Amino acid sequence: MTVNVSWYLTLAAVLFTIGAVGMLVRRNILVMFMCIELMLNAANLTFVSFSRELNDVGGQVAVFFVLIVAAAEVVVGLAIIVSIYRRHVGATADDQHLLKG
Amino acid sequence: MMSGLVASATLPDSITFAIAAVIVVLGALGVVLYRNPVHSALMLVMTLFGIAVLFVEQDAQFLAAVQVIVYTGAVVVLFLFVIMLLGVDRKEAVFADTFKGQRLFAGVVGLCVLVEIIVLGSRNWTTGAPSVAGAMKNQGANVNVIGKSLFTTYLLPFEVTSALLVVAVIAAVVLSRRHEERPTEFEDEQRTTELMP
């Protein structure tokens, strides 16, 4: 029997907070993207914890879907970042404040 | 809280959780605090491994394997590819405020989020009915249970994800293609004749 579920959920809350603060503080788009991954992983950890606590397979299946969506998101997001950098604008998110269609 | 930890958990499990938790938090802090994006990506690997350990600790062996394969094997490698491709592995002043007091504001917001989650949750962490989508324990191997659930209860979402992945692949190809001038028909013919032996 592993430690109480509240410890896992507290850890997930801490991880989510670090990701959210990183998202607000950092200006490099790639690092902001990594912070999104941190937040997704915090959510995954809570899903698995609840799956264990409630003896329910749904939580682990949800994590499976989150992984798929995260992979798709990374593929599209990095492609967008590459096409932004090709235009030789700056490296930070502040340089993209004048985007137009 | 400490008594709950000691009462319900065996010592090896507690130690494993403690080590993995420290790895996860240190890795996350590294992602945010390192100035070089390459170092951030490597610290992200550390966090993801820690999460995989916690998955194993909670009897989610399949997800732990998928976590290592998909996240550290594909996602972080993709991140590193893009960092190297774009040559953005130069240092950034992490704490240069874009507007005055941004850092402070971010810290306050983060602290509020953390306190809010813990205060709201600490009364009763888990509520809700158990085993709604199917039981997990004593049902056989972890992979079997998840597979059975994916191909019965969650069959439609599972099929939709395949469409999502196809869309993502096509979008990546379209977005990362260089926008060149369209070759005229003459150039097109020339190119094909050049290619012919």
CA dist., res. B2 & res. B7, Å (int):
9
| Listed range (A42-46, B97-101, B158-162, B189-193) with the worst mean pLDDT | B189-193
Complex ipTM value:
0.90
pLDDT, tens digit, 9 for 90 and up, residues B92-128: 666 566 677 788 888 898 899 888 888 887 777 777 7
Q: How far is A98 from chain B (nearest CA, A)?
A: 16
C-alpha to C-alpha distances, A35 to A55, A70, B41, B170, nearest whole angstrom: 30, 12, 10, 25
Look up residue B158 and give its two tokens.
């599972």
Which residues in chain A have their CB less than 8 angstroms from residue B129's CB?
54
Global pTM value: 0.84
The backbone region for B34, taken as left when phi is positive above 0, alpha when psi lies in -120 to 50, beta otherwise, is beta
Asked if B95 is an interface residue toward chain A (Cβ–Cβ < 8 A), one would say yes
For chain B, domains (ranges, CATH) are 9-93 (1.20.120.1200), 142-197 (no CATH)
CA dist., res. A65 & res. B95, Å (int):
35
pLDDT of residue B80: 92
> In the structure, what pLDDT confidence band is assigned to residue B85 with cuts at 50, 70 and 90?
confident
Which residues in chain B have their CB less than 8 angstroms from residue A8's CB?
17, 54, 58
Mutate to test the interface with B, among A29, A33, A38 (most CBs of B within 10 A): A38
CA dist., res. A72 & res. B168, Å (int):
5
Beta-carbon separation of B47 and A50 below 8 A: no
Q: Are B58 and A49 within 8 A, CB to CB?
A: yes
Q: What is the mean pLDDT of residues A25-36?
A: 89
For chain A, domains (ranges, CATH) are 5-90 (1.10.287.3510)
A28 strand-pairing partners? A92
Beta-carbon separation of B13 and A9 below 8 A: no
Give the list of residues 6+ apart from residue B157 with CB closer than 8 angstroms, or none: A65
